[in-house]
Amino acid sequence: MELVKVKVEKKNKKDLGKSYEIILFNDDVNTFDYVINKLVTICGQTMEQAEQCTYIVHYSGKCSVKTGTFDKLKPICLKLLDAGLTAEIV
């Protein structure tokens, strides 16, 4: 019988830089133009990126619209929520 060594890592400060993403969900309230505008103004996407994300959300039900650290994404996600969109950080 062969012994297998397993490395166990403790959570530490470098885990704080973990990458998260904002997921935008489809709704029956907001128009395509409104969602596109919010992705451009709040998330800093280009018009083309925003259009593509909006279509993905419409047809798939959700789309990742921004990635980064939790601290960077939290205010962006809150602005999307304040704008009446449905989003979460995962």
Please give the residue range of the domain that contains residue 67. Answer: 19-89
Whether 79 maps to a domain, the answer reads: yes
Specify the CATH number for the domain of residue 36. 3.30.1390.10
Whether 13 maps to a domain, the answer reads: no
Backbone dihedral region of 68: left (phi > 0), alpha (psi from -120 to 50 degrees) or beta? left
pLDDT value, residue 16:
61
Overall domain count for the chain: 1
Q: pLDDT tens string for the chain (90 positions)?
A: 444 444 434 444 555 678 999 999 999 999 999 999 999 999 999 999 999 999 999 999 999 999 999 999 999 999 999 999 999 999
Taking the C-alpha atoms of residue 15 and residue 18, their distance in angstroms, rounded to an integer, is: 5
pLDDT value, residue 10:
44
